[in-house]
Amino acid sequence: MNKQSFSVHLTAVKNTIKESEIKITGSKSESNRLLILQALYPDILIENLSTADDTIDLQKILSTKSNTYNVGHAGTAMRFLTAFFASNPNSAEVVLTGSKRMQERPIKILVDALKTLGADITYLDKDGFPPLKIKGKNLLKNNVNLVANISSQYISALMLIAPNLPQGLEITLEKEVTSLPYVQMTYALLSALGAEVSFNQYQISIRPLTKIKKHHFFVESDWSAASYFYSLVALTSTAKVRLNTFKQDSLQGDALLQQLYEPLGVKTKFITKNYIELSKTPRKLPLYFEANLLETPDIAQTIVVTCLGLGIGCKLTGLHTLKIKETDRLVALKNEIEKLGGELSLTSSSLNLAPCSKLNKNIQINTYNDHRMAMSFAPLVLKTPLTIKNAEVVSKSYPKFWDDLEKLSISVKKHYKNLLLK
């Protein structure tokens, strides 16, 4: 599919946004899990499905018969579909591939686990990386060990197919689980479906499921997408923004935003069953903001850019997975923050931002084909005008992001360039 590439030049009245109501798309993480389960159990109905490219592409792949499937930049789809196709005896032999960056992202841990269960998977290029040739078959073995500190998606991929395996599945986890809330989300969805699941620190046991209990699922809005509005409110002098549809008993780990942004001056209030209201509260900011984001690494970019805009220091740990995302997010953050006048030091799993009293103006932010780079830097427009290059990348998770910024009275001028082949 051809798609126009564009940059956006952002300007705003300094430190102010319009009081607004924003409807955020359904959670990509929850939607993608439910789509795999729906492919296994067609009676499932899903409401408020994410409109993100990743989810739309996954839905198309699951509903299309082909010999080759290209997931683009969608890491979740690559991991989930690898397990899905490998465990489906009715599936023809398929090739599963992705973008150039996807072919640089490791998948060996998951492939090795599936091969232990009896899967037939072959690397077509570099060992340990996509593209993959997969021949679907019944996976009759039901015990596997899995290194758990690299990607929670490997764990979830196995959990999602487990109730449909003839013998179920016992997963022994080695090392501390990264992004634990995403595994807990998978556990909760399987349990709601009626699967018999037990989960302790190092052991997951899932028995075969013959009859589903819950048929209708309503997908909560995406807390990761909400993070950019937390950042906007933090960077204003006064603001109120309403977002829907969110739950107090959320399955999403990024709901931790409510607590993380309190010291940065953002109050979260559930005003109805479906809405949260974010408001700026007057308070003295910390000189340094510190947090361990081992369980919520996707909001690291948003938080460090918020701190940059507030002029305070920031130390974030638990970030080792950021190096194998759409880009090396740690290096990308360092590059762009230093262009703005900030100073950022890195280790393989942490970052340290020095307080910055003044931002450079009219800087062009590179996005590195990473949707979160585009959206996390956008709130800085409240402090300095800036341009986001290749801004179309937001469609990966939040297609209407630039439209929603304009609802807050932020000027978004798009400058179209060449056509991209997606």
Q: Looking at 53, 254, 298, 404, which residue is catalytic?
A: 298
Q: Which fold has domain 2-26+220-421?
A: UDP-n-acetylglucosamine1-carboxyvinyl-transferase; Chain (3.65.10)
404 among known catalytic residues: no
Distance of CA 354 to the CA centre of its chain: 27
pLDDT at 239: 87
pLDDT at 3: 62
Domain ranges of the chain: 2-26+220-421, 28-217
Count of H-run helices and E-run strands, the chain: 12, 22
Q: What does the pLDDT profile of the chain (422 residues) look like in tens digits? A: 446 799 999 999 988 999 999 999 999 999 999 999 999 999 999 999 999 999 999 999 999 999 999 999 888 999 999 999 999 998 789 999 999 989 999 999 999 999 999 999 999 999 999 999 999 999 999 999 999 888 899 999 999 999 999 999 999 999 888 889 999 999 999 999 999 999 988 999 999 998 999 999 999 999 999 999 999 999 998 889 999 999 999 999 999 999 999 999 999 999 987 899 999 998 899 999 999 999 999 999 999 999 999 999 999 999 998 887 878 999 999 999 999 999 999 999 999 999 999 999 999 999 999 999 999 999 999 999 999 999 999 999 999 999 999 999 999 999 997 554 44
DSSP string, 164-210: GSTT-EEEEEESPPTTHHHHHHHHHHHHHHT--EEE-SSEEEE---S
Name residue 239's amino acid.
A
DSSP string, 366-386: P-TT-HHHHHHHGGGGGTS-E
Quote the CA–CA distance of 133 and 290 in Å, as a whole number.
Answer: 44
The answer to whether domain 2-26+220-421 and domain 28-217 are alike in fold is: yes
Closest by CA position to 6, among listed 407, 409, 408, 401: 401
For 28-217, CATH number?
3.65.10.10
